[in-house]
Amino acid sequence: LEIPTGFMRMPEEGKFISIPPRSLAEKGFNIVHWTEPDKGGHFAALETGSVFAEDVRAFAKQVKG
């Protein structure tokens, strides 16, 4: 895909589903923003509200230019 893609790899998420490494994700997606916060899981917006929101803003700024 050529569409700019952002990915937030939550540490608790990997306990339940397989999360690809960045190198593999980059083979199929145009990864322009990748973050790995210290905490959080599947419900990132609820668990890490301000961290999640700031990351979405950072991704939007990168895409917007």
Q: Which of 55, 52, 30, 27 is nearest to 41 (CA)?
A: 52
Is the pLDDT confidence value at 31 over 90? yes
Burial profile 4-23: b = 16 or more Cβ within 10 angstroms, e = fewer: ebbbbbbeebeeeeebeeee
Tokens of 61: 């700024």
Domain-wise residue ranges, the chain:
4-64
Tell me what pLDDT residue 17 has.
83
3-state secondary structure of 63: helix
Task: Tell me what the mean pLDDT of segment 42-60 comes to.
Answer: 94
Tell me what pLDDT residue 57 has.
97
- With a pLDDT cut of 70, the percent of the chain lying above it is 98
